[in-house]
A and B are shown apart, each in its own frame.
Chain A
Amino acid sequence: MSSQKFFDKLKIQLLFSGPTLFAFFTVVILPFLYGIYLTFTNWDGVSANHSFVGLKNYLAVLDDTAFWTSLYKTMKYVLLTVILINVVGFFLAYMLTTEIRGKNLFRAGFFTPNLIGGIILGFLWQFIFSNVLVYIGEHFKIGIFSSSWLADPDKAFWTLVIVTTWQYSGYMMVIYIAGLMNIPKELLEAASIDGANAFVRLRKIILPLMVPSFIVCVFLSLQRGFMVYDLNIALTNGGPYKSTQLVSMYVYQKAFLSQKYGAGQAEAFVLFLIVAIVTLIQVYVSKKREVEA
Chain B
Amino acid sequence: MSKLKMMSAAVLSLSLLLAGCGNSAKESQQSEQKKTSSSEVKITFLNSKGEIQAQLEEAAKEFSKENPGITLEVIPAAAGQSPFEKVTSMYASGNAPTIAMVDPGDVKKFADKALDLSKEKWVNDAIDGSLDDAKTEDGKILAFPFAVEGYGLIYNKAVLDKAVGGNFDPASIKTRKDLAELIKKIQKTGVASNLLSPMDWSLGAHYLTIGYSVQSNKFEEVEAFLTNLKEGKEDLTKNEKLNGLLDTFDLLKENNINKKDPMSGTYEQGPELLGKGKVGLWFMGNWAWPQIKGFDTTNGNYGFLPVPISDNPDDYGNSQISVGVTKRLIIDKEQNSPEQQAAAKKFLEWLVYNEKGQDFLVNKANIIPAFKNITLEPQDPLAKSIKAYMNNNKTLRSMVTLPPDHWSQVGAFMQQYLDNKIDRKQLLKQIEGYWKSQQ
Chain A residues near B (Cβ < 8 Å): 8, 11-12, 14-15, 19, 22, 44-48, 130, 147-148, 150-152, 239-242, 253, 256-259
Contacts and interface: CB of A to CB of B under 8 A. Distances in A.
A46 B10 contact: no
Contact of B109 (A47, A150, A239): A47
A130 B261 CA distance: 12
Interface string B72-93: 0000000000101101100100
Nearest to B87: A46
Given A240-B415, A258-B405, 13 more contacts: A11-B7, A15-B9, A22-B17, A44-B109, A46-B88, A147-B261, A147-B264, A148-B264, A241-B200, A242-B412, A257-B82, A257-B408, A259-B109
A239 B415 contact: yes
Interface size class of B (residues with CB under 8 A): 20 to 34
A258 B412 contact: no
A59 B408 CA distance: 23
A15 B266 CA distance: 58
A152 B421 CA distance: 11
B263 A256 contact: no
Nearest to A47: B109
A147 B263 CA distance: 10
A151 B109 contact: no
A47 B110 CA distance: 7
Nearest to A255: B85
B13 A15 contact: yes
Nearest to A156: B263
B112 interface: yes
Across the A-B interface, the 3 shortest Cβ-Cβ residue pairs: A151-B263, A258-B405, A241-B415
Contacts, number: 73
Interface string B386-422: 0000000000000000011100100011011001010
Contacts of A14: 10
B109 A253 contact: no
B6 interface: yes
B404 A259 contact: yes
A240 B420 CA distance: 13
Given A147-B264, A152-B263, A241 B413 contact: yes
A257 B404 contact: yes
Interface of B: 3, 6-7, 9-10, 13, 17, 82, 84-85, 87-88, 91, 109-110, 112-113, 198, 200, 260-261, 263-264, 266, 403-405, 408, 412-413, 415-416, 419, 421
Given A15-B13, A148-B264, A240 B404 contact: no
A46 B6 contact: no
A148 B415 CA distance: 16
A47 B112 CA distance: 8
A253 B405 CA distance: 8
A48 B333 CA distance: 13
A258 B112 contact: no
Contacts of A240: 198, 263, 415, 419
A14 B266 CA distance: 58
A147 B419 CA distance: 14
Nearest to B260: A147
Nearest to A130: B264
A19 B82 CA distance: 37
Nearest to B105: A259
Contact of B412 (A22, A148, A241): A241
B266 to A, nearest CB: 8
Nearest to A254: B405
B354 to A, nearest CB: 32
28 contacts: A11-B6, A15-B6, A15-B9, A15-B10, A15-B13, A19-B17, A45-B84, A46-B87, A46-B88, A47-B112, A48-B112, A130-B266, A147-B264, A148-B264, A151-B261, A151-B263, A239-B263, A240-B198, A240-B263, A240-B415, A241-B200, A241-B412, A241-B413, A241-B416, A242-B412, A258-B403, A259-B84, A259-B405
B405 A257 contact: yes
A241 B408 CA distance: 9
Contacts of A151: 261, 263-264
A264 to B, nearest CB: 11
Contacts of B403: 258
Contact of B408 (A11, A12, A150, A253): A253
Contacts of A148: 261, 264
B82 A256 contact: yes
A44 B88 CA distance: 10
A12 B6 contact: yes
A258 B404 contact: yes
A287 to B, nearest CB: 38
Contacts of B260: 147
B102 to A, nearest CB: 10
B421 A241 contact: yes
Contacts of B266: 130
A8 B416 CA distance: 68
A11 B260 CA distance: 73
A151 B416 CA distance: 11
Contacts of A15: 6, 9-10, 13
Contacts of B10: 11, 14-15
